[in-house]
Each structure stands twice: as C-alpha cells, then as structure tokens.
Amino acid sequence: MSQKSPWGKDYPRIRTIHLNKWERPLRTTVWTKYGMVKVVWKDVAGERCWFSSGTGDAKREAVPAIEHIEQMCQTMH
C-alpha cells in the first residue's frame, strides 16, 4: 500500500537493488515515510531469506516493496 507524503513522493520507494551474479537480490535500500530500511538476502538451510534493519513501522511499510523485488527477480529467469 503506497502512501503520499507531503512532498509529493510515493512511499515506500526502492532506492537501490544489488544483484548477485545469478541475478538474485543481494541487498537493497527502501525508503519509507518512517525512515530507511536496509535489506539483505542470505541462504539459510538452502532457502533464500531476507533480513532487514530499521524501525518496526518502517519495516512493516517496506514489506510490499521487498516482495515486489523478489517477484521481479523471479520473472527474470
């Protein structure tokens, strides 16, 4: 769900996406109206999982953008 800020920008916004050599997400930065969220993807027991840093409200608002990144990378293959 995107929110409109007083400055006319939609949130959350994907600022950067870094991919590995297999074109899978490695790390990203997402801006929300509550602050910046940094996300890192790692292999955990054979599964790709993401971990985030930021405030609780910012993390909750960034989830749709993170899911969108995963969907974009899956359609690239």
Model confidence pLDDT, tens digit, residues 32-74: 999 999 999 999 999 999 999 999 999 999 999 999 999 998 8
Confidence of residue 2 (pLDDT cuts 50, 70, 90): low
CA angle 44–46–47, rounded 5-degree value: 65
The arithmetic mean of pLDDT across residues 6-23, rounded, is 81
Secondary element (H or E) of residue 17: strand 13-19
Q: Is 53 helix (H, G, I), strand (E, B) or coil?
A: strand
65, 45 Cβ separation under 8 angstroms: no
Q: Do 32 and 23 touch, CB atoms closer than 8 A?
A: no
| In the chain, domain spans | 3-75
